[in-house]
Chain A
């Protein structure tokens, strides 16, 4: 025969757990988990704001657009610089796992000040000017980014493996470190590979 008094403790515990369960939405209003991890994001998207439609085969004097974005999850406001760098096949490549920045000098930069949980994103227009092709070598003299003509003077030889004249435009994220009063590389790099095509061949 089931006697309620034998199960007093179980009923009491079940009741207690039940109360806690039904009070859980209220508890979640009172108890806030510490944030966890502080980090930043850096990204590029194609002209239609999706991954994948970024330009690859490019031509001289034609304007291309991409979106560049930075996300701040540092639990405080943060001051960023996005450095724009341009490389050919022989320049050091941007290592996404490296804690040190690429040694190339930036050709352009964006300064961004963001509140916590804020995102900065802007459309960037760029084109290649003074491009020449000679003896299986392509040379780009300048890049125009958001209307600023920037001298780069990079040449590459024809890449037999990838069948193209390959360049890379990449972006590094730097974060202002208040105690050190300087910007420090934030270990984030994103980039686009290009195949410069001769206008005549297209």
Chain B
């Protein structure tokens, strides 16, 4: 009787896996057919039915399957699918500012044949060119262009995240329910990785390194090859991202000290000597690398952030996060809730699930020793990572980097809560109920992973209606055509551009042209402006349109593609 039940269940899972891949292919084809080179309403526009089918089958596989390896693989593919959508849908690099600067640096590296010594990131990434070089090599080895290599990296790299969680859980001999919950949690708590920033690009390596550290602090390296693998990953991070390296230095050294001190009062087990050696080797590597390359700019910035927070908190100054959201507080309650959910819905879910983890951890007290040891050793570094998230949130008003550092712990902590609520023996839920819960949680997170712009409140101005907060980040063909046109027909006039066009200029042009950029619009001979990209707030959009109209009264409009304009500043005294 049991055997036939198992057979039926296994056939059901096989069918679900086939359906998942069929829907995945359909989704990719649909994304391919919906290719855009301009700002649309939101990333999932025209893709919702296909996306729902893929998500539903993924949720069903998570609920019905008891094969953890399969769930890990399917979770990897699901994360790849999430990253494929914006990467394939939009012709150019998706995301304003950082991704464009990184792309420009990679382009110049490919053109030069070695790490670029010019451009916006030559200084910051001079000592940490690892991932720029990796993407450049990918482009050169495969013979594809820089854009293709850039996008390929973005799509493929998150695949590893659920696999890492699976391998860790397997090592801990965790119960299947917990493995399943952690794998699912790795999907809903994964940070936005389809926008290339220094921190997101290094995130898979960072997650692997954190996992190795937690395992080493709990049980020590299992073999020399494990030690070497972890160290090589550490080297990869050190040569790829300075902030992450410094953060890991703090996390690794302070966690080790904490455990050693806690051991003295009998709370923790002794750290294996090899683990101490590992931590010290990594610390030495970070310090040596950045001492020899004299690149401590980001460490200084990080310290200044901490300094600002302490000064502001102690002397009653307003925190950056508060001033940043003043416009937000002037809106009605419903609008505020909408903005909050669309912007930070996934963060709120992550925090709620993680906040309940200590309770679930208490319930784990009778679990196996390995599992308990691992989770107890995670408490201190996870708290430190949470503090970094809070620091970024309240001081800079942009919590992304802190959130990414914290997110590496989230699959294990949020997974524990999900396990306790849905997969433990305490509560037996029907698989269908679990499927619905998993599906709902993913959909709730996706609302802010792919911000649903049409749900954002709008503000009316004399120039028209605008979103109170615009989260779209499409680099349009209109903007690129403008930049390419001007770079082909100007080699001497100073240029002022709006914020987004500035980074696009850094991505698309050479260093000679970039040297013409100025930050003062009154002194610039050429003004490049656009309404084709999303502008963060209604207030900014209104002033941008008004500026274009006023400028067109006085200045020559030299170029127009309907949405992007090049204007000659005739009031500039340099003109005959």
**Which A residues lie at the B interface, using CB under 8 A?**
1-2, 9-10, 13, 17, 21-22, 24-25, 28, 31, 33-37, 39-45, 49-52, 54, 56-57, 71, 73, 93-97, 162, 170, 186-193
Contacts and interface: CB of A to CB of B under 8 A. Distances in A.
Interface string B455-476: 0000000000000000000001
Main secondary structure of the interface of B (DSSP, over half): mixed
Interface in B6-53: 32-33, 35-38
Nearest to B73: A9
Of B35, B152, B568, B571, most buried by chain A (CB within 10 Å of CB) is B568
Interface centre among B223, B490, B493, B556 (most CB of A within 10 A): B556
Interface residues of B, number: 57
B3 interface: no
Contacts of A54: 556, 558, 568
A162 B531 CA distance: 28
B180 to A, nearest CB: 17
Interface in B472-494: 476-478, 481, 485-486, 489-493
Contacts of A191: 556-557
Given A9-B69, A36-B36, A36-B91, A21 B138 contact: yes
B398 interface: no
A89 to B, nearest CB: 10
Contact of B556 (A13, A24, A73, A193): A193
A94 B552 contact: yes
Nearest to B166: A9
A40 B91 contact: no
19 contacts: A2-B225, A17-B159, A21-B138, A34-B33, A35-B35, A36-B35, A36-B38, A37-B36, A39-B562, A40-B562, A41-B560, A43-B560, A51-B489, A54-B568, A73-B477, A73-B481, A95-B552, A188-B562, A190-B556
A1 B223 CA distance: 6
B474 to A, nearest CB: 10
Pick the most buried of A170, A186, A188: most chain B CB atoms within 10 A of its CB: A188
A24 B225 CA distance: 32
A42 B223 CA distance: 66
Interface in B278-320: none
Nearest to A22: B142
B493 A33 contact: no
Contacts of B490: 50-52
A152 B445 CA distance: 63
A36 B35 CA distance: 6
Contact of A57 (B35, B138, B576): B576
A190 B156 contact: no
B139 to A, nearest CB: 10
A190 B560 contact: yes
Interface string B530-558: 01000000000000010011001111111
Interface of B: 32-33, 35-38, 69, 73, 76, 91, 138, 141-144, 148, 152, 156, 159, 163, 223, 225, 476-478, 481, 485-486, 489-493, 525-526, 531, 545, 548-549, 552-562, 565-566, 568, 570-571, 575-576
Contacts of B545: 97
Contact of A188 (B69, B548, B561): B561
Contact of A97 (B223, B525, B531, B553): B531
B138 A45 contact: no
A190 B558 CA distance: 6
A73 B477 CA distance: 11
B562 A187 contact: yes
Contacts of A170: 557
Contacts of A97: 531, 545, 548-549
B316 to A, nearest CB: 44
A45 B549 contact: no
Nearest to A173: B560
A24 B143 CA distance: 8
Contacts of B556: 44, 54, 190-193
Contacts of A190: 556-560
B558 A37 contact: no
